[in-house]
Amino acid sequence: MVATTQVSAQSHSEDTVIEVQDLSFSYPGIDGRPLPGVPPVVQNMTVSIARGSRCLLIGPNGAGKTTLLKALAGKHMVTQGSVLVADHSPFHHTELTTSGDLAYLGGNWVRDIAFAGYSIPLQGDFPAGRMIDGVPGVPAERKALLTKVLDVDPEWRMHRVSDGQRRRVQLLLGLLQPFKVLFLDEITVDLDVLGRADLLAFLQDECEQRHATIIYATHIFDGLESWPTHLIYLSGGRLQLFAPTAELPEMHDLGLLKLVERWLRKGKQQRKQAEQQAGVKQHPEARPVSALPQWSNGYAPGRLTSSLKDSSNAVMRM
Ligand SMILES: Nc1ncnc2c1ncn2[C@@H]1O[C@H](COP(=O)(O)OP(=O)(O)OP(=O)(O)O)[C@@H](O)[C@H]1O
């Protein structure tokens, strides 16, 4: 564990909207079970988050941020009761998502198209406005506000937009329903400085005025100094810190970027020391593939998630 600041997890109160209780998650192998010998990507996490919080989810590459957000958003099957959002299990209670109370925005807007390939950017010769108007039950003022905040032109033809413009339309569609809880996974990468600042201000208003709750995973800290009410620091799949920013004097002394840099350096150093002591890399998947009876290929719709030793579905490895 990174010995940065003591882990603190807010206790449950009436205001709690996200309740995580001893959550662990492993990606499944071919038989739907966790791969033997591979530690869970998220491990024994317990945390309670109050309504209206704006949490910044921070951690090194591979820490498990995306996996955690997806588990919280009901996109991964987890043990019933280990995640509650607005008192319901997001995986088992699909109404949470279909009602718009829980929103998840992450990754690129892509789809798989036969003979064209996987992860093709969403495009088509139709106007952005048709997609926006296709979302039912959205108050006209909210639609107008979001169109202004994200600076979307409803006339944009979706096969001719830039990556950043496509991202703006994706964000607009994802934010149209007045969510109670929103999970954001590094969604501002393509936005220009102004677009990002306006979006962050909009999200802050959503929390202050409607008491919405947001967890936002990012590596881009520009303009975020005063945005979060809480920091969540994840490393090696474990919760290292959950604390209100007001209780982190280092954040005010060093600034957010320097503080995160310090945590990441410390974590890296500790990982290296642990590896040196163990004499090998600790992750079992770092063993030569030939030594593994089964290994994970990652997940994509329609593709196998793992390979058996000597089988023909192995992904290319060099
Ligand atoms: N689909 C998958 N199948 C199997 N293992 C996966 C899959 N996706 C991620 N992992 C494993 O889980 C670990 C955590 O990945 P995750 O994407 O959650 O990290 P992250 O903190 O979001 O990283 P980054 O900051 O680079 O986006 C990775 O190191 C990888 O080994």
Give the pLDDT means over successive 10-residue stretches in the chain (318 positions): 44 83 90 82 96 96 94 93 95 91 83 68 78 88 94 88 88 94 90 90 96 96 92 94 93 90 91 80 55 64 61 59
Nearest CA to ligand 1 atom 1: 298
Nearest-CA neighbor of 258 among 266, 286, 76? 266
- How far does the centroid of ligand 1 lie from the alpha carbon of residue 135, in Å? 31
Which of 23, 25, 26, 27 to mutate to test ligand 1, by most ligand atoms within 8 A of the CB atom?
A: 27
Task: Note the pLDDT of residue 6.
Answer: 40
* Structure tokens belonging to residue 70: 């997806």
Nearest CA to ligand 1 atom 3: 298
Q: Note the pTM of the prediction, 2 decimals.
A: 0.84
Distance from C-alpha of 91 to C-alpha of 246, rounded to nearest angstrom = 33
Q: Where are the domains of the chain?
A: 1-101+179-286, 107-177
Nearest CA to ligand 1 atom 24: 61
> 209: burial class by Cβ within 10 Å (0-12, 13-18, 19+)?
exposed
DSSP 13: -
Counting every residue written for the chain, the total comes to 318
* Structure tokens belonging to residue 168: 């703006």
Task: Note the pLDDT of residue 295.
Answer: 67
Task: Note the pLDDT of residue 107.
Answer: 72
CATH code at 1-101+179-286: 3.40.50.300
ipTM for the complex shown? 0.97
